[in-house]
Every structure is written in C-alpha cells, then in structure tokens.
Structure 1
Amino acid sequence: MCKLSTSLARAPWAPAPPARPAKGRVGLWGLPGLTLHRLALPDWKAPALRIAVLADPHVCRPWVSPERIAQIVAYTSTLEADLIVLAGDLLPDRKMMCDHLVADEIVPLFKPLTAPLGVHAIMGNHDREDCPLDRASNGQSNSIIQAFADNDMQLVRNDAVELSHSGYPFWLVSLDTQRGRGKRRMGYADAEAAFSKVPQGAPSILLAHEPDYFAAGDPRPMLQISGHTHGGQFTVFGRRPATPSRYGDRYAIGHIVEEDRHMIVSTGLGYSGFPFRFGVPPEITLIEVFSPMDPRGDS
C-alpha cells in the first residue's frame, strides 16, 4: 500500500495579484480556479514532478473566448510546471449556442505554453464528433490534428513519449478518444498500441480524455490523467447526474483510487450542452507527483 498525500487545495485564480477567488460555482461567466493534487506514488523514484492540466476548454464566444484562453495560458505559465497537458476537447460542442470557432483559430491560442518536458495534447471526443472535416470524411481527416501539425505542436494519439526528469526516465502514454460514431462506435483508443513502446515495469503516466478507461484495471500506468466529465457540470443533492460516463458519477471528479491505482479527473475549463455550472467551478489542475521516500513530499 503506497503512502498517499490526501491534501487537496483550491487556490485563488488571478492573472496577477491581488488574487481573486474562483468563480463559476453558480453562473455562466466563471473564471477557473487552481486545484492542487499531491500524490506520493511508490513507482516514482525521481524528484517531485509538477504537471499542469488544461482540460475541456471548448473554445467559443462568448463562453470561453480567445481572450479568456490568453489569460489562462498566461497564468498557467506562472505555475512553473515541468510538464503541461492539454487533455482534449478544444472544439466547442456543435449543439451549443455560441460562435463556433474553428481549429485554426483555437489551436494557436495554446502555442505560447512552454515547459521543460514539453506541452503534450491529446484528442477529446468533441475534437472528433464536432469537427466538420472529421464528420465529412468519416474520420479520415481532422482539423484539430491538422492544426497541431501546422503549428508544430505535439498531439499524441495511441502512442508514448519517453521523457526524463532530473535524469530519471519515464513514459507519457496517450490514448485517442474512447468515443466514436458510425463504424467507430468503440472509439479510436488503442491501449496496446499506446503502450507498445513502454518497457515492462517502466514508470508511466497515461493521458486518457475519458476517465472510463480506468475501469479496465490496467496496472501499467502509475497515474491516469483525464478530463471529459466537467465534474458533471452541476450537482444535485451531492450527485452528478449529467456525468457523461458509462459508470455514472463514479469517475466524475478529482483524485480516484482503486486497488492502489490512481487517477486525477479535472473538471476542466469550459461547457458542453449548456453554458452553466452549479457547484462545479472550472479549474486549472496542478498535479505534484513525488516519491514516498522524499522527505520534502509532505512539506
């Protein structure tokens, strides 16, 4: 059984002091807060690793505008993260009442982000379902994939990248979306392809837009990072009935542990269906992974 720090703190969000508290617990115009998760993982032998996660921005006007993304990007750049993750769903829900921006307008907004171990993006279901090019080509072409390539930004699908933190190697493994349509109803994710490069027993972190993969019980990743759910986007008597998951709200939000396996699910930045949150403010997620043997871990 690993030693686990159960500390979970919400810090104020602001592009610069003085700080403002997170907004959006009830309403349409919430600015994201900063949620910190600190995890002591027995498979992590390196110095502490800081990961910033931006999930589900669903960029559109007026709800999550390019101007707001610029503020979020600027603030994220102050967090001194070793690694930054874009956890999918950059495109807006096509059924939302909004000005639907296209991939060529959205993807470059995140280009100013930098981190020592890079900025790594994955596909979300809306990046396929709500991409007109993807729909027209039956999945053969996709505007998000093309925009990342055009901007020389890293988008990883069913593959793994070896990284080194202070001389300690680990693998960042990325799934494509687990949701699909038509003949791809089982989705585009291929876990075996994604892990094919990873040596047996090597420390790895899995990026999976939808948290549902966690139910497969895959023992290979020491941590799964997901988004997709928006934390249910609203709560009713402590439940999250709108959570888009086969498992209800079991994987809706936060730090989830099952059989010593760990997952962090970010509530994300934007909206789908309707531009409203209740009890689930948007968030920038910051994860600090450290070794149980690190005496500074509990400081």
Structure 2
Amino acid sequence: MRAFEAAARLGSFTAAAESLNVTQGAVSRQIKELEGVIGRPLFRRSGPRLFLTEQGRAFADQLAEIFADLQQAFWNVQGYEETATVTISTLPSVATRWLAARLSEFDRDFPDVDLKVLASRDLADFRTGSIDGAIRFGQGNWPEVEAEYIGGETVCPVCTPGFVAEHNLNYPEDLLQVRLFHSDMEEGWQGWFHHASVVPPPSLRGPQLGDDAATMQAVLNGQGVALGRTLLVADDLADGKLVQPFPVSLPISFGYWFVTEKPSRDDPHLMAVRSWLIERIRNTLEGEIG
C-alpha cells in the first residue's frame, strides 16, 4: 500500500521507487500483488503516461489521509509541531520577477508554512497530487479545475533610463528605430503601435527569447525595449531601474487566475496562502508595490 500511495502521488513507478529507496521493479511487483488481492486494476496506461482508475483514485485519497495521520501521530509522540508545506505552481517569470521578492513577507506572515514553488510554463497537473494550487496566466477556460479570477493585465513599453537618453525616445514612433523584444502574447507590438496611433510596418523585426524573465533581464541590461506586463515590471519601475518612455498601456486578453483541483480541498493552509497571493497580486496590478 505504501508503494501504491507513492506511485499514485508521484504519477510514476520510477519516482515512487526513488522516494521509497527501492527498485522500480519492486514497486511494480508490489502494486501488481495489491491489484491481485483487491481484484481490480488501480492504474491504467495511455502511452507513456500513468493514470489512476476511478477505484484507484478513491483508494489513493484514503491511503494518503491514513499515512498523513500516522506521520502526525509519530510527530506528536516525539513532541514535534507540524509545519505545513504548500506547493504552488506558476510561470518562471512570475516566480522570478514577482514572487521571489516577497518571500520575506511570506515568511513573516506564515511562520508555520513552508512554501514550495514549482516554476514551469506547463499547466499544473493536479492528478499527480504534488501540487496544491497554481497561479495561471490565461483566459480561465481550463477544464477540470476551479479557477478564481485575480485580475487583468496590461502591457506597456519599458526600457532603462539610459536607453531612453541614448536613443532619444521622444515620440512613440521613435520605437520603430530601436531593437524591440517580442513575446508570444496575442497582443504584441502591432497592437500597441495602433493603440498609440502609430501605423507600424507590416513586419517588425526583433528577438523573441521565449521567456518573459529572460526578456526583462535583457531589457535591464540596456539591450532594447519590451512590452512589459504590469506584474513583472512593477518593482523595477518603482525602483527606477526601468521607465515607461510613453504612458500608453494596452489591455490584453489574458489575466491571472488562482487555480485549484476540482473539487477544491478544504485545506486551511492552502486557503490562507491563496488569499495572501490573490491580495498581493491584485495590489501590484493596481499599482500598490509591496
């Protein structure tokens, strides 16, 4: 049962074997024996991926609670106080450009919670059981999850003060003469120029680095101008490291959402962390830095 619970939680026989310090074959054999005793399959495979059956999911959920109670009982008899771990998945850019700067504040507000951040551009997969919640950037139309809207986003040109002076950026059309960093957002430079009443050429050249954090680091190094998302550039604008050469912001179709599995778990630690993150993100989007 311990082998099955680990495989269900981690979504892999190999990962379960590593966590239990046994071989992958041992985990596979133990689960096969367990399925023989129960008389029905607990997992199904689809190509290389491993999924729990309906009965397997129900069994895994009950076992997870039982093992957690056993662990807590062990800690209690030793006199340890429980420290909760809340695992949040988010984009690398949000983790690097926004969340990292607020970890001291988080530790102050949640002294008994260890925050674990999984930074990935892939959508959080709650079926693995390794993620408690996620901050997603999109339109909120994801299946099989509960998504709470946090706030909308806008983009505006950002660069260093030195870049403005070096390239004499006095009017929006001056941006057509400098390096422009591009992103994979639907609303890009073409949309911004039209929003600023400038008719751009049909094709705008410039690099696309594939990650907003990398793009903003290049901009901070004085390499060009990018359309910065409010959440990702607010701190640097407040510190004066970046400036908006022109106060023209373009609303975009994507926003921020806090996502949990469906149905959402009634976990007090997760609920408290969710409220904290939502409040801080909204404050940043509304111009309150900190």
Higher Rg of the two aligned structures: 2
With the shorter chain as reference, the TM-score category is under 0.3
Relative to the length of structure 2, the TM-score reads: 0.21
